[in-house]
């Protein structure tokens, strides 16, 4: 079943339920803020303090960072782009079979067309397609900024990035991954040359993230101090929320940017299971 729901403040989202899974996707940001397979814990972390309000990004789920990832050179522009604060239109909904449903969202203006196709089943599939409909080249960086729900950050191990180079965003130094990633402090890294499945091992389950159309992946956990600062500044998460999530972001970031010539398209795709 796919239904359009509205909160008392007018905030709209799509509610999906089928035999394999359920999901909720806000029109604001085409933001998947809930995904759960039948009989399992939610895959995505969602802050209980987030405000569901048009024009404001939800804290948790899968914010779409687009058409830039991170801070813009122009400090007046919002971090991670404007897509996550923009209202998308629904252009297609499909109950594919008992176990799979899909919805496609669109955001457009004179320069670009951006569509997000979401397939909800035993796997969650996301396809973010950018088309340049302008007469000049269009440069983008982007990410699915996925917040994974974990039992305890201290029990988390991330595999699949061994030997990969990364930019440590805390020191701005280039490093190389040695073994699995574990968390004992703030981690904010942009991995490069990513070409294999990323594996998230938690105490009681293992999740996989497959990426296509991208060769970078961001691994982020704010840890104690930054989480406290963010909690105070934005009031959209508890100050100890860092214990419950890790972000594995499927990205085209920094050197892995995309330049689209007029009429060209690029699709960033992630499969989560």
Residues with a known catalytic role: 145, 249
- 218 near ligand BG6, rule: CB under 6 A: yes
Give strand pairing partners of 175: 166
d(CA 128, CA 68): 14
Contacting ligand BG6 (CB under 6 A), which of 7, 38, 77, 79?
A: 79
Residue 268 has φ and ψ, to the nearest 5°, of -100, 125
Contacting ligand BG6 (CB under 6 A), which of 157, 186, 188, 193?
A: 188
Burial class (CB in 10 A: 0-12, 13-18, 19+), 135: exposed
Between 70 and 93, CB nearer to ligand BG6: 70
d(CA 51, CA 45): 15
- 169 near ligand BG6, rule: CB under 6 A: yes
Please give the residue whose beta carbon sits closest to ligand BG6 in the complex.
79
Least separation in angstroms between residue 218's CB and ligand BG6 is 5
Give strand pairing partners of 105: 90, 116
Query: Contacts with ligand BG6: how many residues (CB under 6 A)?
Result: 8
Element (H, E) at 107: strand 100-108
Q: Which of residues 10-69 bind ligand BG6 (CB under 6 A)?
A: none
Between 123 and 223, CB nearer to ligand BG6: 223
106: Cα separation from own chain's centroid: 17
d(CA 256, CA 139): 11
- 260 near ligand BG6, rule: CB under 6 A: no
Between 103 and 270, CB nearer to ligand BG6: 270
d(CA 67, CA 199): 27
Least separation in angstroms between residue 80's CB and ligand BG6 is 5
Q: Which of residues 114-143 bind ligand BG6 (CB under 6 A)?
A: none
Least separation in angstroms between residue 220's CB and ligand BG6 is 4
Between 25 and 227, CB nearer to ligand BG6: 227
**Sign of the C-alpha dihedral, residues 225, 227, 228, 233?**
positive
Q: Which residues bind ligand BG6 (CB under 6 A)?
A: 79-80, 145, 169, 188, 218, 220, 249
């Amino acid at each position: 079943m796919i239904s359009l729901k509205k909160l008392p403040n007018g905030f709209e989202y799509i509610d999906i339920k089928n035999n394999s899974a359920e999901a909720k996707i806000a029109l604001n940001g085409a933001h998947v803020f809930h995904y759960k397979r039948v009989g399992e814990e939610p895959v995505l972390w969602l802050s209980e303090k987030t405000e569901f309000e048009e024009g404001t990004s939800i804290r948790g789920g899968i914010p779409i960072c687009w058409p830039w990832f991170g801070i813009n050179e122009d400090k007046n522009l919002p971090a991670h782009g404007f897509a996550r604060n923009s209202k998308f239109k629904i252009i297609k909904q499909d109950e594919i079979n008992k176990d799979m449903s899909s919805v496609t969202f669109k955001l457009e203006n004179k320069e670009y067309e951006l569509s997000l196709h979401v397939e909800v089943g035993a796997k969650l599939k996301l396809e973010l397609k950018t088309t340049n409909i302008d007469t000049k080249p269009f440069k983008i960086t982007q990410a699915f900024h996925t917040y994974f729900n974990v039992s305890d950050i201290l029990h988390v191990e991330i595999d699949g990035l061994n030997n990969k180079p990364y930019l440590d965003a805390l020191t701005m130094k280039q490093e190389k991954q040695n073994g699995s990633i574990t968390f004992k402090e703030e981690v904010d890294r942009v991995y490069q040359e990513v070409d294999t499945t990323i594996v998230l091992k938690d105490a009681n389950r293992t999740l996989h993230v497959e990426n296509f159309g991208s060769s970078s992946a961001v691994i982020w956990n704010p840890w104690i101090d930054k989480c406290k600062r963010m909690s105070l500044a934005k009031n959209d998460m508890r100050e100890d929320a860092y214990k419950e999530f890790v972000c594995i972001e499927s990205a085209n970031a920094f050197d892995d940017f995309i330049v689209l010539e007029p009429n060209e398209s690029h699709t960033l795709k992630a499969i989560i299971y």
